[in-house]
Amino acid sequence: MTQTHTITVEPLGREVQCREDQSILDACLRAGVWLPHSCTHGTCATCKADVVDGEVDHGAASSFALMDYERDEGKLLPCVACPRSDVVIEADIDVDESVPVHPVQDFTGTVVALEEIALQTRRLVVELDRDIAFNAGQYLKFSVPARDGLPVVDRTWSIASPPTETRRLEFHVRNVPGGRGTDGWVFGGLSVGDAVSVSGPYGRFVLKIDDDRPAILVGGGTGLAPLKSMIRHALENDAYAGHLTLYQGGRSREWLYDVEYFQALAAQHPDRFTYRPCLSEETQADCGSDATAYGFGMVTDVIAADHPTLSGSSGYLCGPPPMVEAALKTLMSKRLFPRDIHREDFFNEGDKESGAVRSPLIKR
């Protein structure tokens, strides 16, 4: 029988029971105790905290996200650390009272749609066995089945559906060559009708519904997914008072998806939503009569040309770390303060080895 230990979370003074084979973050989120987190697989360092007392197994923490000297100093990443005794941790907890905390739960789902939507990109739609409560922008953790002698692993994908759709959820998945969850599952064997095991919701990259400022949303690749959730929630449920402008970046048209969907939304809500798809490797000449629908160049160049200043706005950035970093610099150069910029970097397992660790500038 797996042993259980008590985790005391300071400065909250909350106590949570955690199994030795369970991460401290997972135990806390399931008990409704929020800790800062992003990637949940030991890569981004968002959840880094202090061990005040007790022993932990650091698990699969990246050596870039948690340096050897930090381990010696008593740091840990709760998303992958498991207890080996009763443990007291102290975390940097800055709770936004306007954002509901939904405890993590386990669900069984059925794949009801799986379709190609862009180059190396699929739309996955899952019907859950019961309703789920989540905030626009959060994600679920999928259990990827064991195969070919490899163990079960977890992979995370953002929900593209609005929170009012509590049972049927949409996800966007980009293929990663050799990836267990992508190449080896979503693109290599998963089919409509298959059962999937998921848990969630996770993440604090969420739409701030109490805000009424204009918002600039920048999505690269499948970083569009949580932004789609936010935009749909804002427009369909009057959940956000400010004007939303979405910049979707891609190398060429074959890499973009849902373009016609967002164009229709912009036409339907001209006073509330603007859509700017951007192509970095195609020109106006390449697009011919469709050229007027696109911005050309890096998405950051299009943003810079569109806005002399962004003072008084907010920002939401999601996608590959290099794009997020570039967009962060662009928004800050247009007089957006770090506290007004929210971000989600899409890491994969390869980032653990490359050291692609999230910038500490922004707290979410």
In the chain the domains, ranked by start, together with CATH numbers, are: 4-90 (3.10.20.30), 105-202 (2.40.30.10), 215-354 (3.40.50.80)
pLDDT surpassing 80 at residue 19: yes
> What mean pLDDT is reported for the chain?
92
pLDDT attached to residue 96:
72
Strand pairing class (195-202; 139-144): antiparallel
Residue with the bigger pLDDT between 61 and 353: it is 61
Residue 59 in 3-state DSSP?
coil
pLDDT tens by residue, 325-335: 999 999 999 99
Instruction: Answer for the pair 205, 304: CB distance below 8 angstroms, yes or no.
Output: no
Amino acid identity of 346? F
Confidence of residue 350 (pLDDT cuts 50, 70, 90): low
**Residue range 108-114: average pLDDT?**
98
Cβ contacts of residue 26 below 8 Å, gap of 6+? Answer: 18, 79, 104
pLDDT attached to residue 357:
44
Strand pairing class (4-10; 49-53): unpaired
Q: How many CB atoms lie within 10 A of CB 360?
A: 9
Cα 330 to Cα 309: distance, rounded to the nearest angstrom: 10
**Residue range 220-237: average pLDDT?**
97
Residue 29 structure tokens = 């989120």
Cα 245 to Cα 228: distance, rounded to the nearest angstrom: 12
Question: How many Å separate Cα 265 from the centre of its chain?
Answer: 23
pLDDT tens by residue, 238-277: 999 999 999 999 999 999 999 999 999 999 999 999 999 9
Lowest mean pLDDT among 65-74, 114-123, 339-348: 339-348
Instruction: Answer for the pair 111, 126: CB distance below 8 angstroms, yes or no.
Output: yes
Whole-model pTM above 0.85? yes
Cα 231 to Cα 215: distance, rounded to the nearest angstrom: 10
Closest listed residue to residue 228, CA positions, set 243, 213, 217: 217
pLDDT surpassing 70 at residue 116: yes
Closest listed residue to residue 243, CA positions, set 266, 206, 212, 264: 212
Closest listed residue to residue 337, CA positions, set 356, 360, 362: 362
pLDDT tens by residue, 194-212: 999 999 999 989 999 989 9
Give 3-state DSSP helix, strand, coil % of the chain, rounded to 5: 25, 30, 45
